[in-house]
Chain A
């Protein structure tokens, strides 16, 4: 029961605060939800440990979603600032991981909508700058060798991901790159599991279509 779990978490956190067991070593053994409850009671160390835990996974997710390293770093910072300021909105009935992924995804989508033109320009510019190894996505371009460097393939995959619609890209990145479960993805995007599976499968099909010169 979430309610009893919340009560037990609350009790554990209260006991820990009363017992002054707030050193870093003991806090690192706690779950995300317990750390968030501690942070809600103004234990700053709980927030610091959460940042350490999630900064790299979130950075990877945001970068794969937006395709821009600088913007990903900014969105990551905004995500944790929002966690910091909206800490009282968090309820322990939800998982902290899905909550923070939801915040990051919403910020990334907002940034993409706001700067869609900017990203398009950047992508074109990047193609010109990286002409020595750029592999075009379009089918009329020459086929790459299957034994090409893996970094080139990853670059092709990243560009193909950016060609996907946002909803499909988010689902594919969360499932196939971040390795979240269907239930967690359903919580993150706020959709039923059936919709999640549908989006993942359609995103994969579109990805395969975009990369068929490599994977056929």
Chain B
């Protein structure tokens, strides 16, 4: 065993320092505050009280003044303020988004005849482009309704036709066999399948460039030929012609 004292016990006990050093330490002259210290302190306090900014005064912890927020709570108050601002901003955005979704949902679930075409401005630019009448149509002397005469809602009514109703039109779209089809009611209205199609219905409704192809179906590659383009333009012309014919006309009861 070692005879030397443990360093820990040596630290805990009072060191062997000269008594003269302790005596001199305790006998060191006392330093006093400046003579006018109290007046100077009071003057400084008064100045600092008078120059206190309004928000510090508001947040100061005083018994009869301010909100009583202690200094260590400034950070919490600031964080809460930022959180409120952030929630307000993001909630506003979410609310607007939800409002739009609600409107779309309401539009899907309502009767197609009661739909108000209030999304006309959301139509892509191509939708407003009216195909020019073909040469043979001009030669036949047919009256093609001018696009600007068509009411805004009318064109929207013809757009949501189902692929079943469109594909025969595409098949029969040869320029030589252009005949106005009979005013079939289902060609003017979307079918029940289209109505129950959820979110795809509205997309299909506002995307006439798909030309009747459902969303899930792969888009077939159109041959880049002038004839094909002409046939598509002819299809548009036929749809324009059918527009007036598909308008439901109330029948007068002879009785």
Find chain A residues with CB under 8 A from B26 CB.
Answer: 176-177, 179
Please provide the chain B residues from 1 to 44 with a CB less than 8 Å away from any CB of chain A in the complex.
Answer: 11-15, 17-18, 20-22, 24-34, 37-38, 40-41, 44
Instruction: Answer whether residue B151 sits at the interface, using C-beta atoms and an 8 A cutoff.
Output: no
Bound-complex Cα distance A48 to B63 (A) = 20
Q: How many residues of B contact A (CB 8 A)?
A: 33
Of the stretches A8-16, A21-29, A49-57, A133-141, the one at the interface is A49-57
Distance of B175 from chain A, by nearest CB (Å):
92
Tell whether, in the assembled complex, residue B40 and residue A204 are in contact, meaning their CB atoms are under 8 Å apart.
Answer: no
Which residues from chain B contact A58 at a C-beta distance below 8 Å? 33
A73, closest chain B residue (CB): B34
Say yes or no for A81: interface residue by CB 8 A criterion.
yes
Q: Are A56 and B21 interface neighbours, CB within 8 A?
A: no
Does B88 belong to the interface (CB within 8 Å)? no
B38→A215 contact, CB < 8 A: no
Complex interface: chain B residues within 8 A of A172 (CB): 25
Q: A interface, by DSSP: helix, strand, loop or mixed?
A: helix
CA separation between A72 and B32, bound complex, in Å?
10
Contact B21 A207 (CB under 8 A): yes
The answer on a CB contact under 8 Å between B37 and A205 is: no
Q: Shortest CB–CB separation between residue A86 and chain B, in angstroms?
A: 8
The complex places the Cα of A191 from the Cα of B44 at a distance, in Å, of: 33
Binding site for B on A (CB under 8 A): 40-42, 48, 51-52, 55-56, 58-60, 63-64, 69, 72-73, 76-77, 80-81, 84, 86, 88-89, 150, 153-154, 157-158, 172, 176-177, 179, 194, 197-198, 201-202, 204-205, 207-208, 211, 215
Given A86-B71, A194-B12, A215-B20, 4 more A-B residue pairs with CB atoms under 8 Å apart are A58-B33, A60-B30, A177-B26, A202-B11
Q: 7 nearest interchain CB pairs?
A: A55-B33, A176-B25, A215-B18, A59-B33, A63-B31, A201-B15, A60-B31
